[in-house]
Amino acid sequence: MAASEAVPFAKTGGLADAVSALSLALAKLGHEVRVVIPRYYSISRDSLKKLEGAMGVPVGGGEEWCAVYTAKLPGSAKQGSVPVYFIDHENFFGRDGIYGTPKEPDFLDNPRRFTFFCRSVFQLCRKIDWFPEILHAHDWPSALAPVFLKYGEKRGPRGKSGSFAGTVSVLTIHNLGYQGVYSRDNYPYTNLGWDIFHEAGFDDWNMMNFLKVGINCAGKLNTVSPNYALETRTQAHGFRLDGALRYRSADYLGILNGIDTAIWNPAKDPHIPRPYSAADMSGKAEAKEALQRKFSLPPEPDIPLIGMVTRLTGQKGVGELFYPGYGSAWSICRDMRVQMVLLGSGEAWCEHEAGSLSSRLSNFKAHIGYREDLSHLIEAGSDFFLMPSRYEPCGLNQMYSLNYGTLPIVRNTGGLADTVENYNQDTGAGTGFMFNDLTPPAIYNTVGWAVWAYYNRRPHIEAMRLRGMKQNFSWKKSAEKYIKMYEDCLASKA
């Protein structure tokens, strides 16, 4: 697995959860899995072991030198342990931020940082003399790895015990909205010729596009829910790559993410006051009270509490919630007897608006920042979890919510549509509340509908909670689908 994030070492979003959980699930099914990520500045070297010797990586017509550290993925079982390798290069990764900082959201040298990283994957395998059958890349930062495999590395230097001649590649798209589009001035840094620039399809209106060329070159592709796999083939959701994806349709699948129930489980969550389960929900009421106190809200058990944990970015529908004079969060909190808590960080305007809303409304509280413990308490202590995403490749939080008996209020899109079943107020069926259009009134009305049901259809709400908690979003199920994709990929090579 070549990736730019993996929990618990580096995380900006669900990609990190998915990479580690999938690796562990594959290992538990008997496969030998190793993960490689950059050693960002935030990952302390103290708990890692250094591999002997420096490693040279051929880029930019010369060589960059780096160190390699290693550790085990926590949660590794004896027979299924997953080593993680960290590529340590001071110039590229010895700074705050994974892709950027609030002041510089996309580091200027990102094309070089991640070109170097993708090339280092092959040198790492040679160094440790371990040649995988499957090279699995995730999102644009590692999307050049399948390209390097196809153009050069397959016939590149052998190690003692093998080479990449038998390796095939898979690319998982976690988010089509981020593609890594940069000036083609960065292209020579890949050490590939200009003939390959055109043959492989790096070209994107005179720029180079990491994700696009990865899509063209990977043996098989997938994204993280069946519905998003369909949506991304359309112009509306394809972010200009719908054509590239339609062209690869025969090799392009949707495989729903799972959730790591060792970490996201109300029955053994260390971040909530008392564990609970479908059999005894009393711990959920305690979590609600703890959450209210934490956010300085009156600890009223019978006011519906709506939680949000999110990156504050357009993808998540935050414009329709918080944009001044337009967003619906203000009118929801003004008109309805509810409480609302938000945990998030991201775009500066939104951080500012959420903070200012907190000071103007007594029933809205925001914590700006990244807090693992609070994210668990919000999942457990809320009655509803709001996710009005513009698009959502899979979405993990709605699945965490279902597992914690918290009813998702979501837009009918991407993986949200695959995991939440809309409430039917005649029969009481469903696991959450859904709307189609991303507009402030649609969010307002759907939150209003959920609040109405909370006050007037309480038995339905309680039954929906239990129904949600019974869903099975195990990674085992998803990992089996990945294995099938790997096997198909190896077979089509043959």
Residue 381 as a binder of ligand ADP (CB under 6 A): the answer is no
Shortest reach from residue 282's CB to ligand GLC, in Å = 31
Asked whether position 237 contacts ligand GLC by CB under 6 A, the answer is no
375 binding ligand ADP? (CB under 6 A) = yes
Name which position in 343, 354, 407, 453 contacts ligand ADP (CB under 6 A): 343
Q: How far is the CB of 316 from ligand ADP (least distance, A)?
A: 7
State yes or no: residue 373 binds ligand ADP (CB under 6 A): no
Candidates 181-189, 238-246, 392-400, 474-482; binding stretch for ligand GLC (CB under 6 A)? 392-400
Q: What are phi and psi of 480, to 5 degrees?
A: -65, -35
Q: State in angstroms the smallest separation of the CB of 310 from ligand ADP.
A: 6
Task: Pick one of 111, 388, 395, 408: the residue that binds ligand ADP (CB under 6 A).
Answer: 395
- Does the bond joining 8 to the residue before it have cis omega, within 30 degrees of 0? yes
Dihedral of the alpha carbons of 227, 228, 231, 237, in degrees to the nearest 10: 150
Question: 75: Cβ–Cβ under 8 A, 6 or more apart, which residues?
Answer: 20, 24, 260, 262
| C-beta closer to ligand GLC: residue 97 or 188 | 97
Least distance from ligand GLC to the Cβ atom of residue 67, Å: 29
Nearer to ligand GLC by C-beta: 98 or 453?
98
SS3 for 415-440 is HHHHHCCECCCCCCCCCEEEECCCCH
Determine, following the binding rule CB under 6 A, whether residue 201 of this chain makes contact with ligand ADP: no
In this structure, are residues 440 and 326 in contact, taking their beta carbons and an 8 Å threshold? yes
Return the sign of the alpha-carbon dihedral for residues 397, 402, 403, 405: positive
If binding is defined by CB under 6 A, does position 15 make contact with ligand GLC? Answer: yes
Applying CB under 6 A, the span of 19-27, 284-292, 368-376, 422-430 interacting with ligand ADP comes to 368-376
Cβ(75)–Cβ(42) below 8 Å: no
Taking the C-alpha atoms of residue 19 and residue 79, their distance in angstroms, rounded to an integer, is 19
| Per-residue tokens: 8 | 């618990």
Stretch of residues binding ligand GLC (CB under 6 A), selected from 12-20, 232-240, 322-330, 332-340 = 12-20
Taking the C-alpha atoms of residue 90 and residue 295, their distance in angstroms, rounded to an integer, is: 39
317 lines the binding site for ligand GLC (CB under 6 A): no
* Dist. CA 125–CA 132, nearest whole Å: 8
Q: How far apart are CA 476 and CA 3, in angstroms?
A: 20
Applying CB under 6 A, the residues found at the interface with ligand GLC are: 13-15, 18, 174-175, 224, 257, 392-396, 415
Residues at the interface with ligand ADP (CB under 6 A): 13-15, 17, 309-311, 343-345, 370-372, 375, 394-397
